[in-house]
Every structure is written in C-alpha cells, then in structure tokens.
Structure 1
Amino acid sequence: MKWKNALKDYCDYLRIERGLSDNSISNYSLDVLKLIGWLEEHQISETPLTITTEITQQFIYDVAKKMSPRSQGRIISGLRGFFNYLVFEEYRKTNPLELIESPKMGRKLPDTLALEEIDSLIGAIDLSSPQGERNRAMLETLYACGLRVSELTNLKISDLFFDEGFIKVTGKGDKQRFVPISDYTIKYINIYRKEVRVHQKIKAEANDTLFLNRRGNGLTRAMIFTIIKQLAELAGIRKTISPHTFRHSFATHLLENGADLRAIQQMLGHESITTTEIYTHMETSFLAETINKFHPRRD
C-alpha cells in the first residue's frame, strides 16, 4: 500500500464514518504528510504497512526540535489516529506509535472576559453605522449562545426559532444542536434584521445567511477576528481575545452561577464532558461549595 492511497482512504473514513469537517480532515492529513515528507527527505522507503516504531520515533525526535510540546502532542495524536485506522481495517497488526508517549504539557486556558469587560467591548461599537448594529447583534449572539466563530458565520435565518426560544446551530462534522437564546439577544438580532439587513442588496447565495458584510455576502472568520480585535483596543482591554473568548466566557459564567456541567456540554456541542471541563476552569471554591451542598455525606 502506498502512502497516497492510504491517506486518501483515511480521509474518506474521517469524512464518511466519523463525519468530520473538511477543516478537521485537512489537519489530520497534514500530520501524515509531514511524516511522508520526512521519509522522502531521508530516502527511507518504508510504506504505511512496514514502517516501524523506531522510524516513527526518529521522525518525532527530529520534528520535536522545531515544535512546542503542544504541537508535538498534536502530531503524535494525529499519526496515532492514522495508524489506528490501518489496524482497524486490518492492514497492520500493530500501531507503531502505540508505545510513544505524548509530551507532558500544562493545560492552557484562554482568557475569560468579565461581564463588565464584555459590556465595555460591546459599548465601544459605533452604532451610528449600519455595521454597528450588525456587530452588536453578532457579539451578543456569541456570548449569549456560546457559539464557535464558524457556527456564527454559518448561522441562517431559517435556523432562528425565536417563538420557541432556540436557534439551530450546525457545529463540527455538520452535527446540529438547539441552543436556547434569550429575549435580550433576540431583540438585537431583530433590530439588525429589520433596520439594517432588510435594506441591503443581498447576493443570491447568501440570501438565508444571517450576518452579512457590506457587499451582501457572508462574513469570513478573519473579519470577525478583526472586528473583535479593533473593539478590544477601543475598549482598552489588553487581554488576548478572539471570538472563542466569548464562548469560553459563556461557559465559565454559567458554571460560576451554578449551571449544570452536562447542560453546558450540550449547549457547547461537546461530545465529551472532559472537553467541557477544559473549557470551563472550575474554581476550587466552587467545587468545594458543590460538594458541601450536594454530597450525601456532606455533614
């Protein structure tokens, strides 16, 4: 089996069996392509079926010199997934990365915005321009619903179920979930729709897209990053923030106010509760309070 064929089969598996997005598949492919490039550079003729632990270990050692521990862990995880697929399909008997450990790393948590900082950032929006009403509605939606930036850019008018108090969100792998939305946020979305969007000349392909740029097309991820960065500067916020900061703040604020972790998991669209725990750095005092309040042997 050639590397090219194995990688194509693996990508098809990720797309069809795992339901991953093109972006995720591209990231997994990149890990395998790095290994292929390294083998070619060192004139090593091993195939996906014959490559050994020793060779993969040497590859990781070589690339490790140029990578952070987090990046090393990412490439080891990516390659382990590729070879697990080959074992699963019975092309190989063992995974050459089975005994290779990922580097130890600290849990990196993004900055969280306090409610006052979110208000300050939204307060820096220039509402005298049509884009101002759009930006306010977007940021309120990011914070109120805990959306990923891609989920925000892909949000459709047909996804809004305001009478029921929900929006339909399409997340990673095209998996859909319903997220509650407050009347407060609905108000700002409706202001944007009825006072700004209705007056735009909209491209046919973006007719159902909620948030539009000046040319009547959907916004890019990069544009939303830029908007937030500019507003942070105007508001005097010196933290490193991004659209994801609003998602992290959403989860953290809910948790701090007593929301159930499982409910937060569902709203964020996480498959694993472990992922939710990473996004919501729980304060020790909150954990102690939870034990004292709910554990049957608390007295």
Structure 2
Amino acid sequence: MQTANEQIISEIVAYISTLTDVKTDEAKSELSKIVTRYNVTSVQEDEVHPDLDDKITLFLSAKKLEGLAAATLEGYQRDLNVFAQHIKKRTDDITTADIRNHMGTFPHLKMSSLGRKLTVFKSFFGWLTAEDYLMRDPAKKLKTPKKEKRLPKSLSIEELELLRESCKTNRQRAFLEILYATGCRLAEIQQLNRNDIDYHAKSCKVIGKGDKEREVYFSYKAMYHLEKYLRSRTDDNDALMVSERKPHGRLSKRSIQREITLLAQQAGLEKRVTPHTLRHTFATLTLNNGADITAVQALLGHSNPATTQIYAQLTQEKKREQHKKFLVQ
C-alpha cells in the first residue's frame, strides 16, 4: 500500500504524463525530494478536511478573545462543524454555491434560523478574508433572509391569573412570579444563586446576552413567593431553584420549560406558553400600563431599541382595538 507521499506523487505524475512527454522516473525522483519537506496526509471521503477544521479552531479562538459569549461560541462551533462535515473541502476551495447548497439542506428551518446560520458563515469567511487566509469571501454575495414580522405572543391579565391558580407547589409559583416580574430570559434566572438576591431592595443582577450585567427587580408578590419557597427547602444547595428529588441539584432550563407548559395545560390555556411568553407578557403589560419604552428596554436587556419597539407596536394595536370598541358614534 502506498504512503500518502507516494500516492500524491503518482497522481501528479499520471496527470503530467497526459499533457506532455515527460520522463516519469525522473519526475518521480524530483517530486519525492520536494514532498519529503512536507507532512502530507490523505483525507478520507467521510472525514472533515483538516484545513477547514484548523481554520474553524482559529476562528473560534479569535472570537473567544474578542469576548464573544460562551453560548454564542457554542452555537458558532455547532453550525461550523455541521458545515465542515457536509462540505469536506479546503477553505480556499469552498464556493458561494457550496454555502448556498448547505443552507438548502435545512428546508424545515424558519427564516430567522436560516438567517442566524448565514450570519455565522458570513462571520467565519469574513474573518478568514480579513486575516488573509482567503483571497475572496465566498459568503459575501449571500443575502440574509428576511425575517417574518411576527408580533410576540403574550398573556392577558386573566390568563396570567389562571396560570397562578394552576400552581401546585411553592417552587412553581416562585419561578412563575419571578419570570413575569423581572421580564428575564430563562437562562438568566436559571443560573441565579440564593445569595445573588438583594432581599431588602427586592432586586438582583443577572448576566444577559453578550455577558452584559443588568439589575432587575422583583414585585412584592414575586418576593413573597420566592421567600416562601426558600423557607420550605431543606437542602443546602446555593442554587436559587433546585430539583425536588435528592440530591437537589440546580433546576435545569428544560425542567422549568416543561413545568410552565404543564401549568398552561392545567390552566386550560389553548395557546402555547413558554418562559419567554412571560417575558413578552412583562413587556406588553408594562407598556400598556404607561411605562417608558426606554426603561423597559433597559429592564429587558435589549441592546437594540427596535427590539423593544415591537412591544410598543403591539400596544398601539391594543389601543386601536379599545378605541374601536368604546367610541360612541
């Protein structure tokens, strides 16, 4: 069996011999001298090309140094690894068509998810080009898909009360009230510890997207049910929310999601309810109640005002409905 060096020499000589009249033995001898100065390895059909794999590692290391959030880095790595397993080429051999064809293998994804994937590829190939690993950027011509304009779903006050009444445990009521009162993302609450809470000020600091810290606030109702839950616990785990079974580990995001869904079913709500629905509800109801949109933006941790503006648009629609319903003509 030929070594990788011998294989590449044979293939080059075979190709050259079809073009010109060359002395194959002499060509092999000269090529052997050249190839011995390099570490040549063959790539199997089902393997990721080592060049692409190396470039992905370099890119992720650079982004980590730039301060990209750990969760974002994991998403980048996941998308790029799937891409590498599909394409199996050197980075400088990858074309715009390769990226477009890869994107076409996800017909089930929404435009927003496809747009996120393309953002990863644009960042990766843009970085390779800027760092002179590539002469041209194959992702540059690709346009980000337009996102569907959807208003976020929120709960009415009546639906929120039905959720509250469906709570069977102190823990369920505690995380329901906290998610609604703070408007936090699930991950921001799930990672909290007991000593993160300022019980006197009824507030805490959370780490949001981009590892940005912000202060959020509890309602009297949320603080009451949180303290009631904590008093009922017999474990010494630092986590704010723990599993009911021993050894009482930190409650996972999936467990909280599952319990919120269960509460909605028990409450007889027809709409799909998630922890993020409570975040939408916080934003919508506070704006409907006259809160300043800039303050709501800060409380939600939105870096882009346009994101918060979506809730304001929903509020305008609500006002239009009220005007139509109650105007005496």
TM-score (structure 2 length as normaliser):
0.74
**Which position in structure 2 is the counterpart of 1:233?**
265
Number of residue-to-residue matches in the alignment: 269
Equivalent of 2:235 in 201, 212, 231:
201
Alignment partners' CA distance in 2, 1:267 and 1:58: 41
What is the SS of the residue equivalent to 2:215? Answer: strand
Alignment partners' CA distance in 1, 2:308 and 2:132: 34
Question: Identity of counterpart residues, as a percentage?
Answer: 30
1:150 is displaced (CA, Å) by 1.3
Q: Which has the higher contact order (CA 8 A, sep 6+)?
A: 1
TM-score (structure 1 length as normaliser):
0.81
Flag the structure with larger Rg: 2
Equivalent of 1:31 in 59, 72, 79:
79
What is the SS of the residue equivalent to 2:91? Answer: coil
**Which position in structure 2 is the counterpart of 1:164?**
201
1:110 is displaced (CA, Å) by 3.8
Match status 1:115 vs 2:157:
yes
**Which position in structure 2 is the counterpart of 1:210?**
240
* Range with greater deviation from structure 2 (163-172 or 66-75): 66-75
* Range with greater deviation from structure 2 (109-118 or 220-229): 109-118
Structure 2 CA distance for partners of 1:260 and 1:48, relative to 1, 3 Å: farther
**Which position in structure 1 is the counterpart of 2:105?**
63
1:272 is displaced (CA, Å) by 1.9
Give the 5 Å matches for 1:9-48.
Answer: 9-21=58-70, 23-40=71-88, 45=89, 47-48=90-91
**Which position in structure 1 is the counterpart of 2:282?**
250
**Aligned 8 A contact 1:212 1:219 in 2:** yes
**Aligned 8 A contact 1:111 1:240 in 2:** no
User: Structure 1 stretches of 5 or more lacking a match?
Assistant: 127-131, 289-299
**Aligned 8 A contact 1:179 1:267 in 2:** yes
**Aligned 8 A contact 1:112 1:248 in 2:** yes
User: Structure 2 stretches of 5 or more lacking a match?
Assistant: 1-49, 321-329
Alignment partners' CA distance in 1, 2:132 and 2:62: 14
**Aligned 8 A contact 2:86 2:102 in 1:** yes
Question: Which amino acid letter does the alignment assign opposite residue 240 of structure 1?
Answer: R
* Range with greater deviation from structure 2 (246-255 or 78-87): 78-87
Equivalent of 2:126 in 84, 107, 111:
84
Question: Which amino acid letter does the alignment assign opposite residue 100 of structure 2?
Answer: Q
Q: In the TM superposition, what whole-angstrom CA distance separates every residue of 1:267-292 from its partner, at most 9, and x where no partner exists?
A: 1122222333346653335799xxxx
What is the SS of the residue equivalent to 2:270? Answer: coil
**Aligned 8 A contact 1:255 1:282 in 2:** no
**Which position in structure 2 is the counterpart of 1:129?**
none
Structure 2 CA distance for partners of 1:230 and 1:58, relative to 1, 3 Å: closer
Alignment partners' CA distance in 2, 1:123 and 1:135: 11
